[in-house]
Amino acid sequence: MIAVTGATGFIGSSICRALLSRGHQLKVLVRTASRAQALPESGVQWVQGSITDRAALEQLLAGCAAVIHCAGAVRGRSLDDFYPANVAGVEQLLAAVSRADSKPKVLLMSSLASREPDLSDYAASKFLGEQIALKAPPGVGLTVFRPPAVYGPGDREMLPVFQLMSRGLALIPGNRDNRVSLLYIDDLVAAVLAWLDSEKVPRGVFTLSDAASAGYSWNEMIGVAAAVFQRQVRSLCLPGWLLDTVARCNLLTSALFRYQPMLTPGKLRELRHPDWVCNGEQLSRALGWRPQVALQQGLELTMSHAGGRGP
């Protein structure tokens, strides 16, 4: 029996589908009953509650050999908005693991943003969550994954960027020479399965990426997109003052209308950071995992699932 949090999100649902296809029985934590409709009923036990709900966590972990923690907050105005899910949630989960009779091993799905905690409240919260996880007692088998930008069928963050490229335009929020690593969803899922199958739990923080060890600049991503879509893709660097104004207005408006914003000054600092390059060599040595999907193939698969490869 495998426990999963964040199972209705892009990464969590992809992991759950892979686990179910391999015949695993799952226990899944959901905040509301309506969220349970995102996955099939067969092979899944639903536990309703939040990541900070002690009773729900104990019910979730009972009888489980492993827990894959994908739940987290990605939108917010301040650290207070991210803290409950990304920090306190990790703390509560590990406390529940220490109380569980089955002593499940733990995989914490973090983010490469945690490498630069000063950039944003989101990055800071992911870093703090990692620090709590790494302080878990030695008897707890615990691994932290730090993936870069993950894309693929079902993703809603990278897809609009690719769809715009399919129409011949790439909007660049920072310097076109900034570099970023990418990871196709199937390769991330394969890493999770390799972790699950491993008898020895590698302890520590592990980054993952595709096989492009130097990552991609915007020009290189545009070149791949042009080959996939078989058309010229023009680039446009968005004016800094314009993005700054939109982000500040979004922050103010979100406070007025009480919603959690995505585009904030902190998120812009993340988008403009010049170096989001990482590699998965350490994880490969620990688990024997190797990424299989290069950007061109991943982009073709993503767009095919989304309904076409552009004009």
Q: Is residue 57 part of a domain?
A: yes
What mean pLDDT value characterizes the chain?
94
Q: Which CATH number belongs to the domain containing residue 142 in this structure?
A: 3.40.50.720
Q: Is residue 254 part of a domain?
A: no
Q: 286: domain range?
A: 2-151+183-211+277-292
Q: Is residue 304 part of a domain?
A: no
Q: What is the pLDDT of residue 305?
A: 86
Q: Is residue 283 part of a domain?
A: yes
> What are the pLDDT digits (tens) for 225-279?
999 999 999 999 999 999 999 999 999 999 889 899 999 999 999 999 999 999 9
Burial of 137 (0-12, 13-18, 19+ CB in 10 A): exposed
Q: Is residue 98 part of a domain?
A: yes
pLDDT interval class at 40 (50, 70, 90): low
Q: Is residue 118 part of a domain?
A: yes
pLDDT interval class at 308 (50, 70, 90): low
Q: Is residue 258 part of a domain?
A: no
Q: Is residue 120 part of a domain?
A: yes
Structural domains counted in the chain:
1
Q: Is the pLDDT of residue 4 over 80?
A: yes
| Of 41 and 76, the one with more pLDDT | 76
Q: What is the pLDDT of residue 38?
A: 62
Q: What is the pTM of this model?
A: 0.94
pLDDT interval class at 42 (50, 70, 90): confident
